[in-house]
Structure 1
Amino acid sequence: MTERVLVDSALRYFLAVVRYGSINKASVQLHVAPSAVSRQIARLEAELGSQLFERTKTGMRLSASGELLADHARKARLEALRVVNEITGLEGIQKGMVRIASIEGLATYFLPQLISRFRERYSGIHFELIACSNSNVTRRVQEGVADIGLTLTPPPMRGIRVEKRIMAPVHAVMSIDHPLASKRQVTLAQLAGYPLGLPQENTNLRNLFDIACSRQGLLIEPVLVSNYVNALIAFSASGGGVTLFGELSVRHHSYRERLAVLPVKDREMSSRTIEVQTLAGRTLPKGVAAFLEMLCQELD
């Protein structure tokens, strides 16, 4: 049994068009003819007396009415799935699925070790962990394809419930043999004298770094730029230079014993936050709620 028994076909087809942006793409995912999808959308628009999509050259874009219906339909689908799973005995705290979207830094070591600890107690709970950008974390939660999202310093977003927000200052990560490793904290001016490995431009951390350097008149060119967290941490652990990450990103890293992790004394570097997100107005399945509670306690 699936949530389909409790969710109208028209709403399922509507959500597929919302997600994939076109009737043809939605029909492929639904394994039905495009004409069937078109009929269901037309039926919804006729019954509601409102246009749900704006038809453009690039695809289907939600109208204001469509946005309202999409919010309702996503919550209805998730609630139907929760109810069906409880009825069939596949939910509860014994079995179920927890879908997480997270920035890469937290998805690399912090979340896997937390999932491992959780499954020692609840071995029937399965997980899906997707690493993606800040904006995609929130989008996946809004669309109902992720139960929990972990992101950095996001702007307020419609339809999002903030379950937890903590300060997540940036730290300098270096080998324990580095000349700065014995200090209690470091400044960007001090780091300017050493090789630096940084994330790519337009990431949250890199934007903060560039703003801070601009404010202080510092010209720092990284010797290594990468979109891969492990590459930057391995670079530092091997003595290649310093990189910048939040403490949680390296807390459980396999190289942790070879690393010194020092706070960066700077306004921008200290202002980051980690936010735990869920879909507003949704009743979480018991397995998801239990993991969320453990996650928030760990962040405390």
Structure 2
Amino acid sequence: MSGPGSATATWALADWPGVSVVIPTRDRPELLARAVRGVLEQEYPGDIECIVVFDRSEPQDVPVPVTGPHRTLRVTGNERTPGLAGARNTGILLAAHEVVGHCDDDDVWLAGKLTRQLELWRRSADAPVVATGVTIHSETGEHRRPAPERASFAEFLESRIMEIHSSTLLVRKADLLGRIGLLDEELPNSFGEDYDWLLRAARHGDVVSVPEPLIAVNWSRPSFYMSKWKAMADGLTYILRKFPEFAGTRTGRARLEGQIAFAHAARGARGQAVRWAVRTLRHDPRQLRAFGALAVAARLTSADGLVRRVQARGRGL
């Protein structure tokens, strides 16, 4: 494996590198057990290490059997900043293997995920990150979201590209400790930590994906971020200011501004909501999030109701 500053890495066709998979968790034992099984039961010939990081809760045993000599399960507490960024970084720094994967505690890796991704990575050795598509499970059923085969930094500025979900990602540990870096623990409330990290990663090359949905994302339960509107507003404002490249894309900038406007409206900060909505529409008069923010600020509808209707269709705010 090349060093931390390397732009590429290659594996011989017969090689299957060890993979350490980090699962941050907090108070969701049944969902966690399902996520751990999805990782450890991958039909993958290489070593798989599953690292469960308990965030703001005491580490507990995970009642999932570990079978075979090439599978290990480790449990630890978050030793860094409370929140997702610190929890993910705790697991990354403990990782024993050269490839690091991520999985949220309410998502599930499907059969064949790792093998398909490593096969793709050998054909695209210059890619800093490898992802897959997702299937979103909402209150109204399943929504398949195939991922684009390649996604550039410019495309991530324009869109979060929700099909490239954090639970699908594989990255070299050397890059996490080197050119890309760890998750940003200064990001307020860790909101948008995955998007922030993907933007930084995509500066080093396109993210490549197996288009097929190879993880199941669970939206049929409340998110820890649901209704934490100030966390959303602060996190997205931080990202908007952190990346000066947003100034060069009116639609991408307006997308974030519209989300910030909506979050302020939802938390009852009507003045800030209106100011951000006006700013949004100045950059993109078609940005629907700004109109949603104005409707919520005027108390014509509720923020939670709008979010539920959007998520029921397998879409995000």
Q: TM-score by structure 1 length?
A: 0.27
Name which structure has the greater RCO, CA cutoff 8 Å, separation 6+.
Answer: 1
Larger gyration radius, structure 1 or structure 2 = 1
User: Larger % of helix: which?
Assistant: 1
TM-score for both structures, normalised by structure 2: 0.26
